[in-house]
Structure 1
Amino acid sequence: MIEKDRGDSFAGKQTAHEWYSRGYLPHCDRTGLLQSITFRLADSLPQEVLRQLELEVACVAEDRRELHRRKLIEKYIDSGLGCCALKNPSVAEIIQNSFFAFDGVKYRLIAWCIMPNHVHVLIEPLIELGKIVQSWKSFTGRWVMKHNAELELGVPGKSLWMREYWDRYIRNEEHLRTVIEYIHQNPVKARLCQFPESWRWSSACQGTLSLNVAPQEEDFT
């Protein structure tokens, strides 16, 4: 892995965080913080699973519910629910290239992993985080829906991605190492491969080189 000069990129060195919510998930959006982001396909958690999840969460003490909810969601999406369109190599490549396209321009790309029905990516944003995630989802979503029938992806409805996303800012070096390890181990944990570096659509395999992929401005806006 190639180390990058992160400067004062950890939460402890920031004087303030900008919190907001566009739905039920809170977001901390401040340029310069390292951010771990997860976003998933719209059908990765069917309604019956969500109902069961909320019943399980309701049995937990209130101060632990959000953490428990997140762990349950991670467990369910790792089980491979939904159409899993991202397992198609053409789709995974489009998503991976969308990460490469603005590396060093809108963000610094540190680590990533494209799973069958969700994505993990770790970056240092250079612009607003929400705009970065929206550009990824908008471009890849349009491409996938255009090729849905041709590639027999089975994406239901008109939207590829769930509207919201999860983000977690990195507190320190130890937290950074833990998050990178989690991202790289995700396909192993889901029994998709034996070793992290065997998963093609991951920085464990590809490395974290800043690839100079020329962006298509009309597509990535």
Structure 2
Amino acid sequence: MPNYRRHFVPGGKYFFTLVTYDRRPWLCHEKARRALRDAITCVRTSFPFAIDAWVLLPDHVHCILTLPAGDADFPERWRRIKAMVSRRCGDWAGEPAPDSSRARRKERLLWQRRFWEHAIRDDNDFAAHVDYIHYNPVKHGWCSMPADWPYSTFHRYVAAGLYPMDWAAGRVPVFPESIGGE
């Protein structure tokens, strides 16, 4: 079994990438969006966190979450969120092979097992990841500018005066190679 090393920073900010099983494009369907929203609301009651930035694409999610002081248990939050969404949207999943580890674990074929995380180091790292999140729908060809994508906190950032509505229109921002996890 692989030895995954996670960097746990109590009260930290983390960038995450979660990907659907086999990159199946189901996340932007209304049922999935509602299931994800409800799961996040439910999990936040027992395991609080703040959403600093978010983008939902058909086959993956990028976000930055801030955990409460003294708490670094982001794996439990994602486990619960993914499980709740899987229960609500499981009818979309194919059946795993009967002798597979997914069948033994009673896993549905909705999510990749793992997720990618990065502990945000400083304000510049935070800003670069927020930009990456908001530009991601353009990068993947889903729209021509971030303002055109409805499933993003980009609009919240515009309303707060942190971005102009035409941010990144006609230009590709430059991101450090380490950003992404895709």
TM-score (norm 2): 0.69
Quick check: 1:111 aligned with 2:38?
Answer: no
- The structural deviation recorded for 1:156 is 2.5
Which digits, 9 at most, give the CA deviation of each residue in 1:34-65, with x for residues without a partner? Answer: 00011111212xxxxxxxxxxxxxxxxxxxxx
Aligned residues: 143
Correspondences of 1:15-164 after superposition (within 5 Å): 23=2, 25-44=4-23, 83-101=24-42, 102=44, 106-126=48-68, 127=71, 128-146=73-91, 148=92, 155-157=93-95, 158-164=108-114
Give 4+ residue runs of structure 1 displaced > 2 Å after superposition: 22-26, 96-101, 155-159, 205-209
On the 8 A contact 1:25/1:166 being kept in 2, the answer is no
Q: In the alignment, what sits opposite 1:48? A: none
Write out per-residue CA displacement over residues 69-91 of structure 1, whole angstroms, 9 at most, x where no aligned residue.
xxxxxxxxxxxxxx311131321
Q: What is the CA deviation profile of residues 168-209 of structure 1, one whole-angstrom value per residue up to 9, with x for unaligned ones?
A: 011110110000000011001111012213211111135599
CA distance in structure 1 between the aligned counterparts of 2:45 and 2:63, rounded to whole angstroms: 12
Q: Which residue of 2 aligns with 1:79?
A: none
Map of 2:165 onto structure 1: none
| Separation (CA, whole Å) in 1 of partners of 2:146 and 2:12 | 26
Structure 2 gaps of 5+ residues are 96-107, 160-182
Conservation of the 8 A alpha-carbon contact between 1:85 and 1:117: yes
Q: How far does residue 33 in structure 1 lie from its aligned partner after superposition?
A: 1.1
Unaligned runs of 5+ in 1: 1-21, 45-82, 149-154, 210-221
